[in-house]
Amino acid sequence: MLIRLLAQRIALGLLLLLIISVVIFAGTILLPGDVAQSILGQSATPEALANLRAELSLNDPPMQRYVSWLLAAVQGDFGTALTSGQDIAQALGTRLRNTVFLAFWAAVVAVPLALFLGILAVRFKDLWPDKLISAVSLASISIPEFLIGYVLIYFVAVKLQWFPSVAMINDNMSLFEKLNAIALPIAVLALVVLAHMMRMTRAAILNVMQSAYIETAELKGLNALQVIYGHAFPNAIAPIVNVVMLNLAYLVVGVVVIEVVFVYPGMGQYLVDHVSKRDVPVVQACGLIFAAVYIGLNMIADIVALLANPRLRHPK
């Protein structure tokens, strides 16, 4: 039963990724303008345009181009960037590593803090700590991340000069130097995802606190923290893990705005740069990788939920 459910989740994820690849490819085809004209400029001769279209297979039927692109992408071959001639897979390897590095350290800050604040809100339910945590979390959800980023740049980087405003990193930097460079992007990303995880932690634990065995634990004389940590939290772990994985997916995929704000050399910045240049192969590759990462992390969340909650494996 469990193996069949896991196979279904994986198959649905692969099918969804295939559908998204069709949408990405179709979207780049439907973009206005001519790719060859964008590359060669308005002064290009008709002969040069025709030669470039033939070189890029732009005259082939869309279905043939899609199948060729997908088969190559499955093998890790995304072609070369039209504007720079650089191998896309090689460039994306470095950019994806930088994006994952930023997302990882944002998660290191956000996940433990979200769990701590969620448990703290449960411990002081309906009292001022709970209300303060809820108010701050709602405010962080409501404010766009780019605005938070610019505010931090102005006050923390420009006025106080604690951290740099431009988050540039390279392989020659030490770990401390890299963390110092990305401190502000980490702070913004942590604030963005912290509220969702904290509120889900609070809601999941409060839901478990209504169970009969929680009342039994309280009647045994256990204090509130012992009941929460020893009985409520372990039984609320499935929905908490699910929302944590969803927010980790957002950290990897949703960093585009933050990378642009802080000029961070990640996939988001790479994508935006080449969208403006109408470099279709780069846009297609970035879109497919972002989709694969998001779907993959969602599949992991579903699998963890199935393993942690027997009721999902036996819905009847």
Q: Establish if 25 belongs to a structural domain.
A: no
Neighbours of 140 (CB within 10 A): 19
Q: Establish if 230 belongs to a structural domain.
A: yes
More confident residue, 232 or 135: 135
Residue 294 token pair:
């998001």
- pLDDT class of 153 with cuts at 50, 70, 90: confident
Q: Establish if 243 belongs to a structural domain.
A: yes
* pLDDT (mean) for 298-311: 71
* pLDDT (mean) for 145-166: 83
- pLDDT tens digits for 49-95? 677 666 666 666 778 778 877 888 888 777 777 776 777 888 888 88
Q: Establish if 171 belongs to a structural domain.
A: yes
- pLDDT tens digits for 19-43? 888 888 877 776 666 666 566 656 6
Q: Establish if 290 belongs to a structural domain.
A: no
User: Residue holding tokens 């279209």?
Assistant: 53
Write out the residue range of the structural domain in which residue 205 sits: 92-284
- pLDDT tens digits for 177-209? 888 888 888 888 888 888 778 877 777 777 776
More confident residue, 141 or 108: 108
- pLDDT reported for residue 113: 86
Q: Establish if 111 belongs to a structural domain.
A: yes
What pTM value is reported for the model? Answer: 0.76
Rounded-to-integer distance, Cα 284 and Cα 288, Å? 6
- Secondary structure (3-state) at 80: strand
* pLDDT (mean) for 231-258: 73
Neighbours of 35 (CB within 10 A): 20
* pLDDT (mean) for 106-130: 81
- Secondary structure (3-state) at 296: helix
- pLDDT class of 218 with cuts at 50, 70, 90: low
- pLDDT reported for residue 193: 81
- pLDDT reported for residue 74: 81
Where helices occur in 31-182 by DSSP H, the ranges are: 35-40, 46-55, 62-74, 88-123, 128-142, 145-152, 175-181
Rounded-to-integer distance, Cα 293 and Cα 271, Å? 15
Partner residues linked to 80 by β-bridges: 87
- E strand or H helix at 251: helix 237-253
Q: Establish if 307 belongs to a structural domain.
A: no
Partner residues linked to 206 by β-bridges: none
User: Residue holding tokens 């699910």?
Assistant: 242
Rounded-to-integer distance, Cα 233 and Cα 205, Å? 6
- pLDDT reported for residue 104: 86
CATH of the domain at 110: 1.10.3720.10
Number of domains in the chain: 1
Rounded-to-integer distance, Cα 209 and Cα 220, Å? 15
Q: Establish if 35 belongs to a structural domain.
A: no
- pLDDT reported for residue 268: 79
* pLDDT (mean) for 95-100: 84
